[in-house]
Structure 1
Amino acid sequence: MSDEELPELPDRLSVNPKSPHFNADIFQRDIGIRINGTEKTNVEEYCVSEGWIKVAVGKSMDRKGNPLTMTLKGTVEPFYKDRK
């Protein structure tokens, strides 16, 4: 795909396939998330318009096998890592 063909990153996106905010097509490319200018690598879900991300907290899991998360608030900037 060239840069012109890249889909625009959505306002809200989740890495969990069970989430209504999951989009497998977007994950064909490497995506990065910055919050308040700092790149995070353990993001489970983000929402640009509401200004939050959910990050995994260690290796702890809930009773359904999902990672425990913590919500961080601020300016959220999703981006394609391989875009120049």
Structure 2
Amino acid sequence: MNDTTQRPAFPDRLSIDPRSRFHNADVLQHDVGIKLNDKEYTNVEEYCISEGWIAVASGKALDRKGKPLLIKMKGKVEPFYK
């Protein structure tokens, strides 16, 4: 699937949580990769290009609702299709 004409453009902010207002199922149907400061991360829960951050799970710690605790990391965010 090297044909990028059928893939949607990346939104400024994207979340993998279906309950989030930033969830976009059309984009997430494809295999998406995220780079922060030219290093690829595989455990990204959410990103924002304009604000320059990604949110990643912090180990096995969970909040009271059973969702992973997130850490924000700042830098140059680059989403891409694999």
TM-score range, shorter chain: over 0.9
Instruction: Measure how far apart 1:18 and its partner are.
Output: 0.7
Instruction: Measure how far apart 1:65 and its partner are.
Output: 1.1
Instruction: Measure how far apart 1:26 and its partner are.
Output: 1.0
Instruction: Measure how far apart 1:8 and its partner are.
Output: 0.3
Aligned match of 2:16:
15
Aligned match of 1:24:
25
| Structure 2 gap segments, 5+ residues each | none
Letter in 2 for 1:42: N
| 1:4 counterpart SS class | helix
Aligned Cα RMSD in Å?
1.0
Q: Distance in 2 between matches of 1:75 and 1:3?
A: 23
Q: Distance in 2 between matches of 1:43 and 1:62?
A: 17
Aligned match of 1:4:
5
Q: Distance in 2 between matches of 1:37 and 1:3?
A: 22
Q: Distance in 1 between matches of 2:61 and 2:21?
A: 23
1:52 aligns with 2:53: yes
Q: Distance in 1 between matches of 2:66 and 2:17?
A: 11
Q: Distance in 1 between matches of 2:55 and 2:36?
A: 11
| 2:24 counterpart SS class | coil
Instruction: Measure how far apart 1:48 and its partner are.
Output: 0.2
